[in-house]
Copies of this chain bind each other. A is one copy, B any other.
Amino acid sequence: MAIKEEVLQYLRKSTGDVSGEELSERLGTSRTAVWKAVNALREEGCEIASATRRGYRLLKEPDRINAEDLLQNLDTQFLGKEIQVFKEIDSTNEEVKRQALRGARDGLVIVSEEQNGGKGRLGRAWNSPFGTGLYFSFLLRPEHIPEPLTNATLLAGLGVVRALRRVWGLDAKIKWPNDVVIGNKKICGILTEMAAEIDKVQYIVPGIGINVGNQSFPDELAVKATSMLIELGKPVKRSEVLLAALEELDKLFIEKEFPLEEYSDLCVSLHKKVRYTRGLKSYTGTAFAIAPGGELMVRSDEDGTEIPISTGEVIVQGIYGQNV
């Protein structure tokens, strides 16, 4: 570990002031090295008070994501055994795919403070500015790919929902297949990509974007988007959100059984009017169940037939302020 990280950890654990002398003795390094480390931490946004004869005190840490930090606090079986943190990247999904082509291992996590080419479902752009969102993607090799495959994207959404509920008590739910919503507003979007031979999946890459620190949204988005800061009324560290999400996702992708009942209970699309498309035409109906293969089961308004929806967009009455 870098001296800088060791100094930061020591300061975190200390309740009072810590002298430069104490730090240099405990960490087995010179006073000059300690002084340089403190300055480096300040440059990264840490507020560290220093008083002659008394020493240093950590007042505030910036909400930076730090790989060493994450690895030290992460409690998972396979997910995030390797985590790479970028300050800026085109897209965390693209980076995982590039590394997968070069042989990256199952469970690799790529996080970025910012994406300049972030992607949403169906080729849409996903706005990914610095400082408010948590953007990460991970690699699933065959041993952690669910059966049927289509459940992968549902599991990714469920993992985020579980984390937001468990750690922050948020009333997070899922708009099928994998938008995470609070009330009628979106707090997280997920894009799951895969590479395969025609009859054999090689790997899956779920990419997750969570609105963490947005104070507000522009008018046209405000009706359909929210953030953890808005919902909780206080800031949350993105690294804590990442840790909680990775731990839930780790468990879900190790389980062999898809938690259909839990997912269904948390799915806001059910027992609501929906609008869906088949071919080029658009229809309305009522969503009434999730099928074991992950499809949204809809009873058609037209003739009452039960239709499994597996692709495309489904508009749900009231969600995101939309009418069916």
Collect the chain B residues with CB atoms within 8 Å of residue A191's CB.
197
Question: Of the 9-residue stretches A70-78, A146-154, A218-226, A255-263, which lies at the interface with chain B?
Answer: A146-154
Within 8 A of B (CB), among A77-99: 94, 97-98
How many angstroms between the C-alpha atoms of A152 and B193 in the bound complex? 20
Collect the chain B residues with CB atoms within 8 Å of residue A195's CB.
97, 193-196
How many angstroms between the C-alpha atoms of A58 and B197 in the bound complex? 45
How many angstroms between the C-alpha atoms of A310 and B311 in the bound complex? 22
Cβ of B311 and Cβ of A152 under 8 Å apart?
A: no
**Can you name the residue of chain B whose Cβ is closest to the Cβ of A97?**
B101
Collect the chain B residues with CB atoms within 8 Å of residue A97's CB.
101, 195
**Can you name the residue of chain B whose Cβ is closest to the Cβ of A309?**
B199
Cβ of A311 and Cβ of B193 under 8 Å apart?
A: no
How many angstroms between the C-alpha atoms of A311 and B122 in the bound complex? 28
CB of A96, distance to nearest CB on chain B (Å): 11
Q: Which of A197, A311, A312 has the most CB of B within 10 A?
A: A197
Collect the chain B residues with CB atoms within 8 Å of residue A198's CB.
149-150, 152-153, 177, 192-194
How many copies make up the complex?
A: 2
Q: Does A200 contact B (CB under 8 A)?
A: yes
Q: Does A121 contact B (CB under 8 A)?
A: yes
How many angstroms between the C-alpha atoms of A302 and B311 in the bound complex? 38
CB of A121, distance to nearest CB on chain B (Å): 6
**Can you name the residue of chain B whose Cβ is closest to the Cβ of A199?**
B311
Cβ of B196 and Cβ of A311 under 8 Å apart?
A: no
Collect the chain B residues with CB atoms within 8 Å of residue A98's CB.
101
Cβ of B150 and Cβ of A199 under 8 Å apart?
A: yes
How many angstroms between the C-alpha atoms of A200 and B122 in the bound complex? 8
Q: Mark A236-273 against chain B: 1 for CB-CB distance below 8 A, else 0.
A: 00000000000000000000000000000000000000
Interchain CB contact (< 8 A) of A197 among B122, B200, B202 = B122
CB of A110, distance to nearest CB on chain B (Å): 14
How many angstroms between the C-alpha atoms of A149 and B198 in the bound complex? 8
Interchain CB contact (< 8 A) of A121 among B122, B193, B197 = B197
Collect the chain B residues with CB atoms within 8 Å of residue A192's CB.
197-198
Q: Mark A133-158 against chain B: 1 for CB-CB distance below 8 A, else 0.
A: 00000000000000001101100000
**Can you name the residue of chain B whose Cβ is closest to the Cβ of A196?**
B194
Cβ of B101 and Cβ of A311 under 8 Å apart?
A: no
Q: Mark A275-314 against chain B: 1 for CB-CB distance below 8 A, else 0.
A: 0000000000000000000000000000000000011100
CB pairs A–B below 8 angstroms (5 shown): A94-B101, A177-B198, A194-B198, A195-B196, A196-B196
| A-B contacts besides A193-B196, A199-B311, 5 pairs, CB < 8 Å | A101-B101, A195-B195, A195-B196, A196-B196, A199-B310
Enumerate the 10 nearest inter-chain pairs by beta-carbon distance, A residue then B residue, closest first.
Answer: A199-B311, A153-B198, A192-B198, A195-B195, A194-B196, A193-B197, A150-B198, A199-B310, A97-B101, A152-B198
Which A residues fall within an 8 A CB radius of B? 94, 97-98, 101, 121-122, 149-150, 152-153, 177, 191-200, 202, 310-312
